[in-house]
Amino acid sequence: MEKITTFRQLYYACKENKKSIYETALDNEALNGENSEYTVRLQAKKSLDAMKEAIKSGLVSTEPSFSGISGDECYKLQTSKAESILGKTAQKIMIYALATSEQNLRMGRIVACPTAGSCGIVPSVLIAYAEDYGIKEDGQINALITAGETGRIISNKMPLSGAVGGCQAECGAASAMAAAALTQMRGGDVKQIINSAALALKNVLGLTCDPVCGLVEIPCIKRNPFMALHALTASELAMAGIISKIPADEVVDAMEQTGKLMSPLLKESSQGGLAKTKTAMALEKNILK
């Protein structure tokens, strides 16, 4: 078996060996004796536990972020008086995503998945769904490995960093990973899982990284619940048998090209977009003193 670098190879390896994505991914990691199944499962378990801890701490904290401009949004959402138009699980996902993101801004312990700025997306979708639909720990670990494999294949084409690819490469990749994890837990087949990732990714192309004051705060915190729900749409479509007309690998190619075409002013340099708005400039004067 050759090392898998594309979704296409992943699909055919799964089909040929009649295995799921996480099983194929574990075989692939173990090639050349690099990472045994035990090593990968152990890291997944550690990361999963840390994700749960971050949510738990984030849910009960209103401590302001470092800059002092955020930290109470998870609390506000939890105590909202408005009748929700989302179902119970989707609501929980938003709350968990905010809880994790706000923990990150407080210098709390989180899991970069794939990055710190996008740390709320995969855990919120994975853990809220698992809780509400009775997915046991083993199933959660398999879903996290499915997410990790999705991110790994994307990262083969482009580094998952806002400075290189904009936010499409951070929160966008995280959303594709969350979609894959969710579709796995919902019993989707290999094709549906890959399609859910492709659909999620396709709809974040061109997403810029223009953080206000250069901090992982505005728009990053609230982008986490947005991109978590984005993963739900992708999974819902894929589970209905709707496919991405552009195959997953080509979507990744488009993402790489889009990242290159994007101005450096919109890639984590805080020299354009939201970072250069009037309000952002005023905040900058107050915060970065």
Partner 1 sequence: MRQSSITDIISPIMAGPSSSHTAGAVRLGLLAGNVYNAKPEKVIFKLYNSYALTGKGHGTDKGLLAGVLGFAVDDERIKNVFDTPEAKKIKYEFNFLEDFNRHPNAVDFHFEGDLNMTVSGNSIGAGEIIIDKINNFSVNLDGKYNSLILVYHDEPGVISKVTGMIQLDKVNIASMNCDRSGKGKEASMCICLDGEVSKSCLEALNSLEHLYIVRYIKKLEI
User: Where along the sequence are the contacts to partner 1 (CB under 8 A)?
Assistant: 3, 5, 25, 29, 34-35, 39-40, 43-44, 46-47, 50, 65-67, 103-117, 119, 122, 144-145, 147-149, 151-152, 155-156, 159-161, 163-164, 177, 213-217, 270, 287-288
**Nearer Cβ to partner 1, position 152 or 230?**
152
Residue number with CB closer to partner 1 (5 or 91): 5
Residue 228 C-beta: closest distance to partner 1, Å: 16
Closest CA to 189 of 31, 1, 10, 37: 10
CB of 221 to partner 1, least distance (A): 10
Least distance in angstroms from the C-beta of 72 to partner 1 = 16
Nearer to partner 1, 90 or 266 (CB): 266
Pick between residue 162 and residue 188 the one whose CB is nearest to partner 1: 162
Q: Which CB, 112 or 205, lies closer to partner 1?
A: 112
Nearer to partner 1, 186 or 217 (CB): 217
User: Residue 203 Cβ, how far from partner 1 at the closest point, in Å?
Assistant: 21
Other beta carbons within 10 angstroms of residue 20's beta carbon come to 17
Provide, rounded to whole angstroms, the least separation between the CB of residue 242 and partner 1: 26
Residue placing its CB nearer to partner 1 in the complex, 66 or 226: 66
Which residues, other chains included, contact 81 with Cβ-Cβ below 8 Å and sequence gap of 6+? none
* Beta-ladder partners of 267: 209
- 105 in Cβ contact with 219 (< 8 Å): no
* Residue 179: closest CA among 251, 107, 110, 116: 251
Torsion of CA 158, 52, 237, 6, to 10 degrees: 30
- Minimum CB separation of residue 288 from partner 1 in Å reads 7
Between CA 199 and CA 176 the distance in angstroms is 8
Q: Three-state DSSP class for 209?
A: strand
Euclidean distance between CA atoms 234 and 199, whole angstroms: 5
For residue 186, the minimal CB distance to partner 1 (Å) is 20
Of residues 113, 172, 124, the one with CA closest to residue 147? 113
Of 129, 117, 191, the closest CA to residue 160 belongs to 117
Which amino acid is present at 157?
K
Longest pairwise C-alpha distance within the chain: 60
Rounded distance, CA 162 to CA 133, Å? 34
Q: What one-character DSSP code corresponds to residue 202?
A: H
Pick 24 or 195: Cβ nearer partner 1: 24
CB of 16 to partner 1, least distance (A): 20
